[in-house]
Amino acid sequence: MKTRSLWIMAVCSLSLSACYKEIDLEQYRPKPTLVLNCVCSPDTVVRASVSRTVFFTDHREDDPTLTDATVSLTVNGVPTGTMRYDEASKLYVSDVVPQAGDRIEVRAVHALGEAIGTDMIPEQIPVERVGLKFRTYEDPDRIIVTPGGPVYGQSYEATYRITFTDPASVRNYYCIRIENNNGIPAETLDYSHDKVFLAQQEIMDGVTTDTRIYGDEGRTFTDDLFDGQTYTMEIVQTAPYYGRHSRPYRIILYSLSEPYYHYLTGILNVDDESFNSDLVDWGFSEPNAYYSNVNGGTGIVGAVQCSVYTVDLESVMPAD
């Protein structure tokens, strides 16, 4: 019996070893190409980063930034000269502050090749007003231990009603973000109260029991449902409530160029907590490739304007 058991173990071991095959990934290593990234805004001079692609098995111990590229800027078809490399920021910097309607072309030339990207600065769409609603409630998910025994803590629900006017006769692209004065995203935002985000939610997300739409880092959207209209967007925030105190937030409405919209949408879709991003994490779905409008390499040359509106939730909190 013992001999038979050993024979079975030997056969199983051979079967298992047959399921594995050593693969030399180095044979799939592509030649490095240029990565050109530049996001233009009237808030600052045009700056760009130039680096090389990194193979996924590399430990990225070496900085992929390229300091010896020749980077040139063209605005509305007129060359403005070569951008200088700034060692502190590791960026190529120009002296040009672009304006709405300017067409920007950034060209990087290196021994690895040539990469070119173009985009146009969009018009700024201002936030006209922000209405606030606020309520507190006993939260069964927050249990506080007291000398008299455990009690439920309180949480709050704040509703932001953000109003802006979309220009007519042109397709517009946006991103909305709520953050505190330190630039930290507002916690636990739910976008499912607004038809814009409900419309863009993929059918696959409907298989989950959680109907909320997350996105603390922000969410992108278009004007497909309100082209040329004044629109009020509704976003709900929940967080623990510790009594009345100052809680300022910045509501930022980004007006995006079309290329930057596609690129940013891909970034935020990977970062959010949707069912589809869970499928990617679990290995059941392929991750989406990031959008690129760079010819001869990869990356993004995008454009953005932003409008900032500040509110303080203390103004609608109940008196202690």
Alpha-carbon Rg of the chain, whole angstroms? 26
Say what the pLDDT of residue 49 is.
96
Looking at the chain, which runs of residues are DSSP E strands? 34-40, 47-52, 70-75, 78-86, 91-93, 103-110, 113-120, 127-146, 149-165, 173-180, 189-190, 219-222, 230-240, 248-256, 298-312
Say what the pLDDT of residue 21 is.
59
Say what the pLDDT of residue 275 is.
42
Say what the pLDDT of residue 1 is.
52
Say what the pLDDT of residue 210 is.
63
Alpha carbon 142 to its chain centroid, in Å, reads: 30
Say what the pLDDT of residue 14 is.
46
Q: Which residues pair with 98 in a beta bridge?
A: none
- Stretches where the chain sits below pLDDT 70 are 1-30, 55-61, 202-210, 269-289
Q: What angle do CA 255, 96, 101 make, to 5 degrees?
A: 40
Residue type present at position 126: P
Altogether, the residues listed in the chain come to a count of 320
Say what the pLDDT of residue 11 is.
45
- 267: which DSSP letter? H
- 30: which DSSP letter? P
Say what the pLDDT of residue 62 is.
72
Say what the pLDDT of residue 289 is.
67
Say what the pLDDT of residue 203 is.
44
Say what the pLDDT of residue 27 is.
53
Distance in angstroms (rounded) separating the CA atoms of residues 189 and 238: 7
